[in-house]
Chain A
């Protein structure tokens, strides 16, 4: 597609509910990143995929957070048993190949509100 697409744009979840957030990266981009952005803060790194391999998940805040990219394109970030502190905007980014010339492109994000 023309850009990184995320769905849904907005999600309201009751505390304890499981949610799944989807990211469609730019076609052909091998690298995919997930970030969490709290209100008034910069994005915080969660996890990174190169094709279908999850190479870095050091930013996932707890074992309730799980991400996958089974076919190396679309990715899903799943949050189990949501808590109020999970309320944030979740951003997805993708990069192509091209070494240090390669830009990261971001989607519009999914705003998650846990009530």
Chain B
């Protein structure tokens, strides 16, 4: 059974810092991996998708890497802003594209 772990569970940083959020998963037989953002009381917004054959994807200030063989993904956020405050969820998709989630990293960026 796929298990996803995200570290740290929570993070509070001053504005402008560069951040690294870590995700590990136990079953490397995945098709892709998505990083999502969730604001309080809201649904999930997809940030980046990395296909299993890719090593990284970039969107604006976000960069996500994938090391499928070791079961790890990293989300890098450059020059953090208060508007980045949210919970970030890592979600590998396995057989049938069933997406399994970690518990998330709660990020607070202080102005």
Q: Which of B21-60 contact A (CB under 8 A)?
A: 31-32, 34, 36, 41-46, 49, 51-53
Number of interface residues of A (CB under 8 A): 28
Taken together as a complex, chains A and B put the C-alpha atoms of A107 and B45 apart, in Å, by 9
Taken together as a complex, chains A and B put the C-alpha atoms of A50 and B97 apart, in Å, by 10
Given contacts A42-B104, A99-B31, contact A104 B43 (CB under 8 A): no
Given contacts A33-B99, A56-B98, A93-B99, contact A42 B34 (CB under 8 A): no
Q: Mark A3-38, 1 if CB is under 8 A from B, else 0.
A: 000000000000000000000000000010101000
Q: Which residues of B contact A107 (CB under 8 A)?
A: 43
Q: Which residues of A contact B46 (CB under 8 A)?
A: 103-106
Taken together as a complex, chains A and B put the C-alpha atoms of A33 and B97 apart, in Å, by 10
CB distance from B57 to the nearest CB of A (A): 11
Q: Which residues of B contact A93 (CB under 8 A)?
A: 44, 99
| B109 contacts the other chain (CB 8 A) | no
Q: Are A106 and B43 in contact (CB under 8 A)?
A: yes
Q: Which residues of B contact A106 (CB under 8 A)?
A: 36, 43-46
Q: Which residues of A contact B71 (CB under 8 A)?
A: none
Chain A residues proximal to chain B, CB less than 8 Å: 31, 33, 35, 40-45, 48, 50, 55-56, 91, 93, 95, 99-109, 111
A-B complex: 6 closest residue pairs judged by Cβ atoms:
A42-B101, A106-B44, A100-B51, A108-B43, A100-B31, A42-B103
A-B contact sample (9 more), CB < 8 A, given A42-B103, A103-B46, A106-B45: A42-B101, A45-B98, A50-B96, A56-B98, A101-B32, A104-B93, A104-B97, A107-B43, A111-B41
